[in-house]
Amino acid sequence: MQKSDLFQFVCESAKQAALLSTAADTLEWDERTGMPHSAGDYRAEQVSYLRGLAHQKLTDGRYRESLQELLEQISDETASIPFAITISKLHRDLQRNTKLTTQLVEQMAASTVRGQQQWDAARKSNRFCDFKRILNEIIQLKRESAELLRQGTEKNCYEALLDEYEPNATIEQIDQLFSALRPPLVDLIQRIQSASKRPDPTLFRRNLSLEKQKQLSVHVAEAIGFDFKRGRLDETSHPFCTTLGPNDCRILTRYDQNNLGTGLFGTIHEAGHGMYEQGLPEESFGLPLGSYASLGIHESQSRMWENQVGRSAAFWRWITPKLQDLFPKQYANVGEQEFYFAANEVEPSLIRVEADEATYNLHIIIRYDLEKQLINGDLEVDDLPDAWNLRYEQDLGVKVQQDRDGVLQDVHWSAGLFGYFPTYTIGNLIAAQLFSKAEESIDHIDKQFSRGNFQELLNWNRIAIHRHGQSMNSDEIVREATGNELSTDFLVNYLRAKLEALYQL
């Protein structure tokens, strides 16, 4: 076959696998939003079957041979052109996929569908014991996968799983980042705890109509740039974003009648993910150039919009009148500065997704440490709640009273997402570094936010991040966008500048 014919075949195969995968994603979206409870077992079979077909498509002999032939035609001179990028990235995926059997892929898919259902039920009933069996099953499957994936590499089991979300990252690199970040965060948190100036702790914890909170979420998501002609917003038990096609991005949040921040910040966070997906090259959907670079980059987009934008003084200058209109009884006499301070309250707490910026990464470090132990066999599932509770008391000074606020609060492990958690902190670091550069590049960015104009920041991210797809790795994207290697300094300096001023330290 001619080179062009081989390339077309490979790309069509990848796109056909994407059709199968997004069909499975659609079924999983339905499972998380409205599937009847009794439909779970058959849904697991459906998703398992589709994931297996996608895996077969991407490990087929002709596909492998075609990719190998095309790979041999790439030289140093052509390595940066779209053809070469596409082939090299697809070949990297092929190397991972061929190490896994279709049977193992199907088993994992079925177990994680059931796992998410059983996690949800256990969380609602506040009974970790109801989740233990399926979690053990998922961990065993992830260990088996990791042992296969690490073959022929220098990676250990955890790194083999991490590689799916943050390609080529190592435990040593993450440990170095976390070790550099933790001391200044702990110091800042301790100084804030002794500060005399405090925000109103009840401001976000007033009884608010859920229907009006939903109106607010749609208004904010649309204002910052989420395209509702190409996506939608729904409710679920744990917020997430999933893309079901080039013009079909689903974001999901949850609401609490007595906590404004739950729905608002959850929506902004997931809209950040969604805008990244909507900004990827549409014509390359299903191929590397139309896919996100890494989960760290993905999280940088959600965390930037949630924190650098959503917790800024300018954002609250814009949104305060809207809150006063929607909730006049609760907020008629509350000013923008009061909202801004409350949005940046620093208080060690139990729930990661509702944690403030200063303590958030401590939540991630705990999960990172525990999931490494689970995968390595140094921690048994039976002992997980006690280990979790101890770390929360030691690291954050808070006591876990019930499983739903502790080990059952996150969906990730039930979905088999071991190695995912570190990308949240990587995303926080990248977000601060990117936003620092965006502030230099965009004139009067605060004034624009205060008028409800977020388009220039979105455009900046489109150029700096979204358009690249996987044409560069995450380190290259950060370096090109900011002129610096990834550093903890930007996040630490950003938090110190904002919080020291607010708390008058």
357 as an active site residue: the answer is no
Say which residues have a Cβ less than 8 Å from residue 300's Cβ, sequence separation at least 6: 426, 427, 428, 429, 430, 431, 434, 465
> Strand 240-245 relative to strand 231-235: parallel, antiparallel, unpaired?
unpaired
284 touches 294 (CB < 8 A) = no
Helical pair 82-97 and 61-71, crossing angle rounded to 10 deg = 140
**Sign, Cα dihedral of 12, 16, 22, 26:** positive
Q: Among 137, 270, 345, 371, which one carries the catalytic annotation? A: 270
388 touches 382 (CB < 8 A) = no
The burial of 421, by beta-carbon neighbours within 10 Å (0-12 exposed, 13-18 middle, 19 or more buried), is given as buried
Q: What are phi and psi of 231, to 5 degrees?
A: -170, 175
270 touches 301 (CB < 8 A) = no
Q: What does the DSSP 8-state code read for residue 334?
A: -
> Strand 248-253 relative to strand 240-245: parallel, antiparallel, unpaired?
antiparallel
Per-residue b or e along 334-356, where b marks 16 or more CB atoms closer than 10 Å to that residue's CB: bebebbbbbbbbbbbbbebbbbb
Task: Give the angle subtended at the CA of 308 by the CAs of 303 and 311, to the nearest 5°.
Answer: 100
Give the span between the Cα atoms of 499 and 83, in whole angstroms: 47
Distances (CA, A) of 158 to 174, 180, 369, 388, 426: 12, 21, 11, 19, 17
Would you tell me how many other CB atoms lie within 10 Å of the CB of residue 196? Answer: 6
Per-residue b or e along 19-30, where b marks 16 or more CB atoms closer than 10 Å to that residue's CB: ebbbbbbbbbbe
Report, in this order, helix, strand and coil percent for the chain, each rounded to 5. Answer: 70, 5, 30
Residues that are catalytic: 270
